[in-house]
Amino acid sequence: MKELSLNILDIIENSLKANAKNIELNILEDDNKDLLLIEVRDDGVGMDEALLKEVFDPFTTTSKNKKVGLGLPLLKLEAESCDGGISIESEKGKGTTVKICFRKSHIDTPPLGDIASTIVSVVATHPEINFRYRHEVNGKVFEISIEDLKKICNETICTPLVLNGIRDFLNEQIKSLHGGA
Amino acid sequence: MDKIKSIEELRKLREQAQAFLKTRQGEAKVKVYISMGTVGIAAGARDVLLAILDELQKRNFTDVQIIERGSMGLDVEEPVVAVERDGIRVYYGHVTPEMAREIVASHVINGQIVSDWVIAKE
């Protein structure tokens, strides 16, 4: 994957496949600590200990269509090569939390990329999900949920016009978090 | 159109969008399926989805439902997009954002299948 926002989309898709109703995406960027932290928390079906142990094995998958699952193993490799790491906590029936950290200034740390597009992809295809997004950059915070957006947009949230508007809005907010106008 | 910068502007957009929704009743006329498993995402499914949204907006077409399918088991063909219209579901493979725009214009809106890119029908 070219950018972390695509990995994030991949992890969120995992949550959706696990029948999550509530998904949280937290991103923390801290230049003082030289840290980039991404957390995806869901209330899906969760994993038992046996599956959790094997989750980073490329030949472990719950899919019936194929024999490999490369999303998490490759992301783990990527994080570890950037002085970071990945951890997964999960409890059967309660949900799963995936945390990934990178050393932000590490030369191989991939760009965060287009988070707004990732979020809009989720909203467009799963407007029924309760999704919260929190992004903190050096103490500045932006926070929004699909619930909030639904209150504003009602049933129009599934229209291309509004979805594109949401993307512009998110891009604008993320830009200002990073100090841009 | 100007970029949306605030919640207020988003609220105005809603009124605009509502006018289009009024013409739509019950189930959407066209369903667009997009495969967003790991392989689909890595192959560019997100950009394809955004291109579809953008083209639909440009052409003011709202009688459509976009559905995420996970992997359809056609990994070598990713990104895969399927269009269901008039009871037939047509699968397109190796879809780029440019192809997606053409599929929206010809197939989704006008019902003309883009036969060159079809990989399966059901």
Domain count, chain A: 1
Are the C-beta atoms of residues B36 and A121 closer than 8 Å to each other?
A: yes
Q: Is A128 on the interface with B (CB under 8 A)?
A: no
CATH of the domain at A142: 3.30.565.10
Enumerate the residues of chain B whose CB falls inside 8 A of the CB of residue A17: 70
Which tens digit of pLDDT belongs to each residue from B75-113? 899 999 999 998 999 999 999 999 999 999 999 999 999
Sheet holding A85-91, edge to edge: A85-91, A95-103, A35-42, A22-30, A130-137, A140-145
Residue type present at position A147: E
pLDDT band at A118 (very low <50, low <70, confident <90, very high): very high
The first and second tokens of residue A95, run together, are: 């949900």
Q: Can you tell me the mean pLDDT for B50-59? A: 93
Domains, in order of start, for chain B: 26-121 (3.40.30.10)
Q: Name every residue whose Cβ is closer than 8 Å to that of residue B110 and which is 6 or more positions away in sequence.
A: none
ipTM greater than 0.95? no
Helix (H) or strand (E) holding B84: strand B81-85
Cβ distance A13 to B70 less than 8 Å, yes or no, reads yes
**In a 3-state reduction of DSSP, which class is residue A134?**
strand
Q: Is A119 on the interface with B (CB under 8 A)?
A: no
Residue B15: name the closest of A97, A74, A165, A101 by CA: A165
Q: Is B19 on the interface with A (CB under 8 A)?
A: no
Query: What's the confidence (pLDDT) of residue B11?
Result: 84
Query: What's the confidence (pLDDT) of residue B24?
Result: 59
Enumerate the residues of chain B whose CB falls inside 8 A of the CB of residue A129: none
Q: pLDDT exceeding 90 applies to what percent of chain B?
A: 57
Query: What's the confidence (pLDDT) of residue B112?
Result: 95
Pairwise CA distance, residues A147 & A169, whole Å: 16
- Residue B72's closest chain A neighbor by CA? A65
Query: What's the confidence (pLDDT) of residue B2?
Result: 64
Query: What's the confidence (pLDDT) of residue A91?
Result: 92
Query: What's the confidence (pLDDT) of residue B25?
Result: 59
Chain B interface mutation, best of A8, A147, A164, A171, highest count of B Cβ atoms under 10 Å: A164
Are the C-beta atoms of residues B34 and B93 closer than 8 Å to each other?
A: no
**In a 3-state reduction of DSSP, which class is residue A77?**
helix
Pairwise CA distance, residues A56 & B102, whole Å: 39
Q: Can you tell me the mean pLDDT for A24-34? A: 96
Q: Is A142 on the interface with B (CB under 8 A)?
A: no
Q: Is A19 on the interface with B (CB under 8 A)?
A: no
Are the C-beta atoms of residues B81 and B48 closer than 8 Å to each other?
A: yes
- Residue B47's closest chain A neighbor by CA? A117
Name which of A65, A125, A163 is nearest B68 (Cβ-Cβ): A125
Query: What's the confidence (pLDDT) of residue A133?
Result: 96
Query: What's the confidence (pLDDT) of residue A31?
Result: 96
Q: Is A159 on the interface with B (CB under 8 A)?
A: yes
Pairwise CA distance, residues A133 & A143, whole Å: 6
Q: Quick check: B49 pLDDT over 90?
A: yes
Q: Can you tell me the mean pLDDT for A149-177? A: 88
Q: What distance in Å separates residue B68's CA from the closest CA in chain A?
A: 5
Query: What's the confidence (pLDDT) of residue B20?
Result: 67
Enumerate the residues of chain A whose CB falls inside 8 A of the CB of residue B38: 10, 13, 69-71
Query: What's the confidence (pLDDT) of residue A140?
Result: 94
Cβ distance B38 to A63 less than 8 Å, yes or no, reads no
Query: What's the confidence (pLDDT) of residue B28?
Result: 83
Residue type present at position A46: G
Q: pLDDT exceeding 90 applies to what percent of chain A?
A: 69
The first and second tokens of residue B101, run together, are: 């725009």
Name which of A69, A124, A166 is nearest B66 (Cβ-Cβ): A124
Mean pLDDT of chain A: 91
Q: Quick check: A69 pLDDT over 90?
A: no
Q: Which domain holds residue A9?
A: 4-177
pLDDT band at B23 (very low <50, low <70, confident <90, very high): low
Cβ distance B14 to A121 less than 8 Å, yes or no, reads no
Pairing of strands B81-85, B88-92: antiparallel
Residue type present at position A131: F
Residue B34: name the closest of B88, B3, B78 by CA: B78
Main-chain dihedrals φ then ψ at residue A41, nearest 5 degrees: -120, 130
Q: Is A32 on the interface with B (CB under 8 A)?
A: no
Main-chain dihedrals φ then ψ at residue A35, nearest 5 degrees: -130, 140
Name which of B14, B66, B72 is nearest A153 (Cβ-Cβ): B14
Pairwise CA distance, residues A67 & B32, whole Å: 27
